């Protein structure tokens, strides 16, 4: 548990049909096979060719690095034609360096709120200086000092903000912290009238709005409910 009262302990357990999480499905590592055969990887030989990914990068099964992966997956969503696998390696290195004083404990404890603030600052700097991305990101925390009384109001604001994004299409994301029972950072890409869609490092796909609460007690007393701390929300927008 960090000083913000929110712990990130790695894998979450969601047992509802709407998550549609395949068992042990993994994204292919473009370097793994070559490195095992003793061949040089694209990373070691310079920039990898641009790749447009359609699936999120996935974290390991027993680590708490969901915050790192959420940021890297945000770049994948916001810069789909210019953010490469090689860029993902570079960004991960930068993120690790941004909170290097928290290692190794951050690997199993995960990143707290202030850690994630530092990670996003590093990500903003990375986007600004990486010219081939052809854009930068702006990250804000509009709920950090606001008390939200109803979870419906929170989702209404998130949905309106996502929809208000201008060209290019899908240039806005929300990074949220889901507390009990999941303890997980994840990306929201879309909010509909009844559900929320994710681009997630643990293959969470979609949850119904009725499954969220801002009450810890309600989440604990009702199976399938997920507690939100709305203050732990980062809104990410691509500019340019």
Please give the pLDDT value at position 12. Answer: 35
Q: What is the pLDDT of residues 164-186, one digit of tens each?
A: 987 766 799 999 999 999 999 99
The percentage of residues in the chain with a pLDDT greater than 70, rounded to a whole number, is: 77
Which one is predicted more confidently, 41 or 73? 73
What is the model's pTM? 0.80
- Yes or no: say if 187 and 233 are a contact pair by the CB < 8 Å rule: no
Q: How far is CA 69 from CA 19, 35, 111, in A?
A: 18, 22, 11
- Yes or no: say if 188 and 173 are a contact pair by the CB < 8 Å rule: yes
Unique residue bearing structure tokens 């090689």? 86
- Output the 3-class SS for the chain: CCCCCCCCCCCCCCCCHHHCCCCCCCCCCCCHHHHHCCCCCCCCCCCCCCCCCCCCCCCCCCCCCHHHHHHHHHHHHHCCCCCCHHHHHHHHHHHHHHCHHHCCHHHHHCCCHHHHHHHHHHHHHHHHHCHHHCCEEEEECCCCCCCCCCHHHHHHHHHHHHHCCCCCCCCEEEEEEECCCCCEEEEEEEECCCEEEEECCCCCCEEEHHHEECCHHHHHHCCCCEEEEEEEEEEEEEEC
Burial of residue 125 (number of CB atoms within 10 Å: 0-12, 13-18, 19+): middle
Average pLDDT, the chain: 83
> Does 54 have pLDDT greater than 90?
no
Nearest to 74 by CA among 156, 186, 150, 154: 186
Please give the pLDDT value at position 30. Answer: 39
């Amino acid at each position: 548990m960090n000083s913000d009262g929110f712990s990130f302990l790695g894998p979450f357990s969601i047992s509802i049909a709407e998550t549609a999480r395949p068992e042990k499905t993994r994204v292919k590592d473009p370097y793994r096979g070559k490195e095992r055969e003793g061949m040089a990887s694209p990373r070691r030989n310079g920039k990898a060719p641009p790749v447009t990914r359609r699936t999120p990068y996935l974290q390991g099964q027993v680590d708490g690095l969901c915050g790192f992966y959420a940021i890297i997956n945000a770049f994948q969503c916001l810069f789909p034609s210019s953010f490469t696998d090689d860029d993902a390696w570079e960004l991960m290195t930068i993120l690790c360096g941004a909170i290097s004083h928290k290692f190794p404990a951050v690997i199993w404890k995960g990143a707290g709120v202030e850690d994630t603030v530092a990670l996003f600052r590093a990500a903003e700097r990375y986007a600004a200086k990486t010219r081939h991305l052809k854009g930068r990101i702006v990250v804000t925390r509009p709920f950090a000092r606001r008390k939200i009384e109803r979870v419906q109001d929170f989702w209404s604001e998130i949905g309106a903000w996502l929809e208000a994004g201008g060209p290019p299409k899908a240039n806005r994301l929300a990074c949220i912290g889901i507390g009990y029972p999941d303890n997980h950072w994840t990306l929201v890409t879309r909010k509909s009238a009844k559900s929320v869609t994710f681009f997630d490092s643990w293959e969470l796909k979609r949850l119904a709005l009725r499954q969220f609460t801002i009450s810890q007690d309600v989440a604990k007393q009702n199976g399938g409910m997920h507690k939100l701390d709305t203050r732990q929300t980062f809104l990410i927008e691509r500019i340019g």
